[in-house]
Amino acid sequence: MSNKSSPWIVALILFLAAIGVGGTVVLVVLALQVQKPGEQVEQAPLGPLETRGRALFQARGCNACHTVDGSAGIGPSMAGFWGRQRQLADGGQVTGDEAYFIESVRDPQAKVAAGFRPAMPEFGNSITDNDLAAIMAYVRTLPAQQSADKAH
Ligand code: HEC
């Protein structure tokens, strides 16, 4: 590197000197306003409970079998689980709600999702109510995906 300042830095300093303090403040404010909407376009940040739920979803290995983007896995994707009718292997239906979610984790064989092998490990009470609540809060934030949710 040369020990002379780069020409563009000199130009910048001259430019800032020319527009003065007021102009600089206006420029900074404009730059901040350009950035803000961009940040908000990204998905809403998860709250503390949902963030803990996401960490647990990975730490407890749920993500090994369940995707969160609607794509197929060993088990049904968690995207769009909430509030939707789930088809069961015995031909019945159940609503994707808290009761069914909890039962699915503690006693997965009680109701088996149609099109899937009953391959989910029984977690029983090895997951605390608190941890389950966090996982459910996270699953609720997943955007619904209509497409690859069901097995074929
Ligand atoms: C070894 C793979 C595996 C792991 C690990 C696993 N699951 Fe599953 N899960 C499945 C399979 C396969 C099914 C579908 C068959 C059934 O209903 O038992 C299923 C079904 C479910 C269902 C019902 C979904 C529906 O659409 O009906 C929920 C909810 C669920 N799992 C949540 C979890 C959570 C939460 C964890 C982590 C604590 C977890 N699973 C870990 C394989 C797995």
Start-to-end CA span in the chain (Å): 62
Residue of the CA atom closest to atom 31 of ligand 1: 104
Residue 39 has pLDDT above 90, yes or no: no
Tell me how many domains the chain contains.
2
Residue 22 has pLDDT above 80, yes or no: no
Ligand 1 atom index nearest CA of 127: 38
Residue 37 has pLDDT above 70, yes or no: no
pTM above 0.85, yes or no: no
Query: In this structure, are 55 and 119 located in the same domain?
Result: yes
Q: Report the interhelical angle of 129-140 vs 98-106 (nearest 10°).
A: 130
Q: In this predicted model, what pLDDT tens digit does every residue of 107-125 receive, in sequence order? A: 999 999 999 999 999 999 9
- Ligand 1: residue of 65, 87, 135 to mutate (most ligand atoms within 8 A of CB) is 65
Query: In this structure, are 27 and 82 located in the same domain?
Result: no
Domain assignment of residue 33, given as a range: 1-42
27 — pLDDT class (breaks 50, 70, 90): low
Query: In this structure, are 34 and 102 located in the same domain?
Result: no
Residue of the CA atom closest to atom 17 of ligand 1: 112
What residue ranges line ligand 1, CB within 6 angstroms? 60-62, 64-66, 74-76, 81, 86, 101, 104-105, 108, 112-113, 116-121, 123, 127, 135
Q: In this predicted model, what pLDDT tens digit does every residue of 55-112 receive, in sequence order? A: 999 999 999 999 999 998 999 999 989 999 999 999 999 999 999 999 999 999 999 9
CA 9 to chain centre: 42
Query: In this structure, are 65 and 103 located in the same domain?
Result: yes
Q: Helix (H, G, I), strand (E, B), or coil: what is residue 149? A: coil
More confident residue, 109 or 17: 109
